[in-house]
Chain A
């Protein structure tokens, strides 16, 4: 393998080069250990954090923002979105409240409070 990636872990956006075979990948160009981990993950099982909003049904025109509690497999982004779209919540909600449990290995949690 010889792949060039842009690291998405932080705004620095390092250009990473990955060489070698699965199980023995070598990463260069990273400025920190997180970059190396990102490059290996991206070449073996890419993951992303998903953020969206869920409708608060007892408040007019009100949405609560949500995120996955940890990154989920990239190929399941739209499956997670489908689960988020189907969800409805009732206020009051505190930031951090779990709205959906175990969606492709992560919880969907509120990122803001609605009184």
Chain B
């Protein structure tokens, strides 16, 4: 069995940033395992721009953003095992992986989980109809077009208005396809406002809200889809059913954190985020195992993934160097208008300020967020608007947390 101080599972933006941060915090024996043939993760297929404005202060495409971090990994000589699939993780941090040479077993002092997400598939959505070729998850279509150079389709309907669906609507339009419609089950889009403008409006693509694909038609290849509006309980309104001829259906219906390894290690999962339950260091409830990036919570921006990964990387390094943090915890809970809060628990006696990340339950206008413990207000923040597609961050000063014993609740009130 090999031994390493820190093993990072996944070489996408989260894994790379976590490894670099851990190295810079003084733990030089860090390795990255990734199943693909090179570092970069999903950024490699995200050829559009808009990455890095927040974190790096310049606008980059996905491959460029990945290269910035890959260069940092290489500069430090951090060992990378590519084409290596991690198949097992035990609660005492033994990582099992399949690589070209065979089976690999590594005993780690700390493990950082950075596996990212999978896309929700047609099977998970239960869309009725036939099973022809031409139904793709949006990310698969993106990889086929941008990495492998295939034309995915000519006449396209997209279900789901998350950012990947919006980006692919533009991408397919640029490559000469006709995008007939983007349908969104919810009464609002889950994507960023800027992507509605620059991916749909720029190309005259209609966005139908409260609308879903009721049936897929076609024998060998998709021939069309029936779309229909849904009521407030998301039931199809039969009278609104209409047929759109198309040869391709793209699904952009959400991302599911890929947490099989996490579960196998006995780590508790938050049913709302679909990711591990963590403290402010991104340490799970199994000591020495950390999680960051989209495997922990689905992010809107890679910039925030990198930030979160740095928190996990530094904390994993501290764990290797100093051992157990072992202090008092309180849990965090979502209150009015808030769907989830991450981290799900925080140390109260720490010396660093703690940032809470959260998503709201529905679109709001001007709101005030209040972070409280019992009757004590720990922080407030006002936002001109809030939407489920845009993660909010509220920072609580470390001195405010000292002595807190009751759960920390984050709630919002709508302001006039």
Contact = CB atoms under 8 A, between A and B. Distances in A.
Interface of A: 5-11, 13, 15, 48-53, 55, 61-63, 65-67, 74, 77-78, 81, 95, 111-113
B64 A112 contact: yes
Interface of B: 44, 47-50, 53-54, 59-64, 67, 145-149, 174-175, 192-194, 196-198, 202, 300-301, 385, 390
27 contacts: A6-B193, A6-B197, A7-B194, A9-B53, A9-B194, A10-B54, A11-B50, A11-B300, A11-B301, A13-B192, A13-B194, A15-B193, A48-B198, A51-B47, A51-B49, A52-B174, A53-B145, A53-B146, A53-B149, A55-B149, A65-B61, A65-B62, A67-B47, A67-B49, A74-B202, A111-B47, A111-B63
A63 to B, nearest CB: 4
A35 B410 CA distance: 31
Contacts, number: 80
- Among A11, A52, A66, A111, chain B packs the most CB atoms within 10 A around the CB of A11
Given A11-B194, A81-B174, A52 B47 contact: yes
B202 A51 contact: no
Contacts of B147: 63
A65 B63 contact: yes
Nearest to A5: B197
Contacts of A49: 49, 59
Given A95-B67, A112-B64, A11 B149 contact: no
Contact residues of B: prevailing secondary structure: mixed
Contacts of B47: 51-53, 65-67, 111
B201 to A, nearest CB: 9
B364 to A, nearest CB: 14
A4 B257 CA distance: 37
Contacts of B53: 9-11
A51 to B, nearest CB: 5
Contacts of A78: 174
B202 A62 contact: no
A63 B171 CA distance: 15
Contacts of A63: 146-149
A95 B66 CA distance: 12
Nearest to A84: B174
B289 to A, nearest CB: 30
A66 B61 CA distance: 9
B41 to A, nearest CB: 14
A56 B197 CA distance: 32
Given A8-B198, A48-B198, A77-B174, A95 B148 contact: no
Contacts of B198: 8, 48
Contacts of A10: 53-54, 194
A8 to B, nearest CB: 4
A19 B202 CA distance: 22
Listed from nearest, the 4 A-B pairs whose CB atoms lie closest are A13-B193, A112-B63, A65-B47, A8-B194
A65 B53 CA distance: 19
